[in-house]
Amino acid sequence: MNKILVCIKRVIDYNVKIRIKPDESGVVTDGVKMSINPFDEIALEEALRLKESGNASEVIIASIGSDDVQQQLRTGLAMGADRAILIEHKATLEPIQVAKLLHRIVDQEKPDLVLMGKQAIDDDASQTGQMLAQMCSYAQATFASKVTVNGNSLEVVREVDQGLETLEIDLPAIITTDLRLNEPRYVKLPDIMKAKKKPMDIIDPSTLDVDLEPSISVLKVSAPPPRQSGVMLNDASELVVILKEKELLND
- Mean per-residue pLDDT for 132-149? 96
* CATH code, 167: 3.40.50.620
Answer whether residue 250 shows pLDDT above 80: no
Give domain status of residue 208, yes or no: yes
Answer whether residue 216 shows pLDDT above 90: no
Give domain status of residue 248, yes or no: no
Give domain status of residue 54, yes or no: yes
Dihedral sign of CA atoms 37, 38, 44, 48 in order: positive
What pLDDT shows up at residue 49?
97
Give domain status of residue 210, yes or no: yes
| High-pLDDT (> 70) share of the chain, % | 100
What pLDDT shows up at residue 26?
87
Count the domains in the chain.
Answer: 1
Give domain status of residue 231, yes or no: no
How would residue 205 be classed by pLDDT, with cut points 50, 70 and 90? very high
Q: How far apart are CA 204 and CA 152, in angstroms?
A: 34
What pLDDT shows up at residue 198?
95
The closest alpha carbon to 11, from 141, 189, 143, 32, belongs to 32
Give domain status of residue 242, yes or no: no
* 151 close to 1: Cβ distance less than 8 angstroms: no
Range(s) of the domain holding residue 166:
3-225
Which one is predicted more confidently, 127 or 249?
Answer: 127
Which one is predicted more confidently, 143 or 244?
Answer: 143
Give domain status of residue 167, yes or no: yes
172-181 pLDDT, tens digit each: 999 999 999 9
- Mean per-residue pLDDT for 24-52? 94
In what helix (H) or strand (E) does residue 77 lie, and over which residues does it extend? Answer: helix 70-79
